[in-house]
Amino acid sequence: HQAQVTIDPAFRVGPVRRRTFGAFIEHLGRCVYTGVHEPGHPAAGEDGLRQDVLALTRELGVSTVRYPGGNFVSGYRWEDGIGPVAERPRRRDLAWHTTETNEFGVDEFMRWCRRAEVEPMMAVNLGTRGIEEALDLLEYCNHPSGTALSDLRIANGAKDPHDIRMWCLGNEMDGPWQLGHRPAREYGRLAAATGRAMRMADPGLELVACGSSGTGMPTFGAWEATVLEETYDVVDLISAHAYYEEKDGDLGGFLACAADMEHYIDTVVATADHVGARLRSRKKIDISFDEWNVWYMSRSMAAGPPEGWPVAPPLLEDHYHLADAVAVGSMLITLLRHTDRVAAASLAQLVNVIAPIMTEPGGRAWRQTTFHPFAQASRYAAGEVLRLAAVSPVYETAAYGEVPLLHAVATHSAEGTTLFAVNRATDRPLVLDIDARALGDVRIVEAVTLADDDFYAANTADDPDRIAPRANPDVRHDPARVVLPPVSWNVIRLG
């Protein structure tokens, strides 16, 4: 196969936004307990936070972290997670059929954020709760002092306000599985009233309304339109969530999943702009793609909920192989390609639960295959995102029709230009010619590839570097050409 890209700094889409590289910590399975928090672990400090996981989070290049859910937030009482740990109540978490000990709450999360050098993104419960509890949490977190809840935070050891800027108004309220799920109009009114009240306390907050849980939802499109009719003036962003998995051995179809993500973004942007037009508004609503990943959901669903309300059982612990990492890379390319309207995104999730970082309770931590495309994109995407003029062979997929074998984007800054490229072909390499004449006198500085003869090879605690980026030996300079192995994620730096 043969493909060609032309890179021109004039083909500007918009700035690379650090918030594209967000992640997500939910009270789910072992994400919090034995993931980020494990008192007594040899790598844990006095605060119980695992330093090995903190180090990997920093290496991953995570910018924001959404918390505390997910489905969990729709039944959560945030007050349970503050104050002396020994006095915190144990409660059932109806979303995941487990027992929540509340040993970790908002103050521990904020301490973790500071150590991880990430920005928090807080979700409020609009499932079982409403305006008052959202305002209380906001006062506890952000008010400096001199009120009941801000003084309580100070008494609990957090002298300075947490100063959380981004707030999600609930989670997946379109989903029948969600506690407090309700029709779009009802949710939209609740979200608008909650958002307005929160803005009375702090007009500068950035608010996210719940969009659909995926393009497959029966209300997809109509949900966004109705919710935005109610919330347009109040919110800044609307959420999007998407998970993909290989089904029925259709690897080619799976590797094309970002085609759905592209369509998803285009559709939500069109819907939001249509609502804006009808409201005669000049304001634009952007997308917070605050859950995205590969998730073998069919396996999780087949396993059913855990028996006996356990504490932090292993749940949704997908072990990712090379092809999963290539799909993740393709989704990162999609988010970057839409940087003009995707203002934030969160890989779901960060540790153990459908995550790039895995841990053993009491033991090791390691990088899954999916860690690598995320870490590289976060590290090397800088400056402006450039749309490419690309010529690529196509292939036929059952789910998305004709899809190009090459999926790529570039970013450009004074430090250099980076091309991120996926070869979706399963049968052979893709010879990629790079026309970078518009960049002036540049050459390939480095070409790194994530590839393997075994598309289903994964990393384990015993073999943590089985799949890792390696130098691509197949590079030609002048004119620039790189051979992309089949099923591969590639980072090509020019300078």
Answer for the pair 433, 479: CB distance below 8 angstroms, yes or no: yes
Q: Is there binding between residue 348 and ligand AHR (CB under 6 A)?
A: yes
Q: What is the CA radius of gyration of the chain?
A: 22
CB of 175 to ligand AHR, least distance (A): 7
State both tokens at 10.
């004039």
Residue whose CB is less far from ligand AHR, 227 or 348: 348
Closest-by-Cβ residue to ligand AHR is 70
- Strand 98-100 versus strand 91-93 pairing type: antiparallel
Name residues contacting ligand AHR, limited to 195-214 (CB under 6 A): 213
Active-site option among 119, 172, 230, 262: 172
Q: How far is CA 235 from CA 63, 275, 345, in A?
A: 21, 13, 16
By beta-carbon proximity to ligand AHR, the closer residue of 26 and 100 is 26
End-to-end CA distance of the chain: 26
Question: Footprint of ligand AHR on residues 213-252 (CB under 6 A)?
Answer: 213
Q: Are 283 and 277 in contact (CB under 8 A)?
A: no
Q: Which two tokens stand for residue 72?
A: 């969990």
Is residue 272 within 8 Å of 237, Cβ to Cβ? no
* Cβ closest to ligand AHR, residue 122 vs residue 275: 122
CA dist 417 and 419 (Å) reads 7
Q: Which C-beta is closer to ligand AHR: that of 324 or that of 452?
A: 324
Residues of 92-105 as b/e, b for ≥16 C-beta within 10 angstroms?
ebbbbbbbbbbbbb
Residue numbers 39-78 binding ligand AHR by CB under 6 A: 69-71
Least distance between ligand AHR and beta carbon 217 (Å): 11
Counting contacts by CB under 6 A, is residue 349 touching ligand AHR? yes
* Nearest CB to ligand AHR, comparing residues 93 and 452: 93
| 485 touches ligand AHR (CB under 6 A) | no
Select the residue interacting with ligand AHR from 108, 133, 172, 206 (CB under 6 A): 172
Per DSSP, the three-state class of 86 is helix
172 catalytic? Reply is: yes
Number of residues that bind ligand AHR (CB under 6 A): 10
Q: Which of residues 280-309 bind ligand AHR (CB under 6 A)?
A: 291
Q: Angle, to 10 degrees, between the axis of helix 131-142 and the axis of helix 148-155?
A: 50
Beta carbon of residue 177, minimum distance to ligand AHR (angstroms, whole number): 7
Q: Which residues are catalytic?
A: 172, 291
Site residues, ligand AHR (CB under 6 A): 26, 69-71, 171-172, 213, 291, 348-349
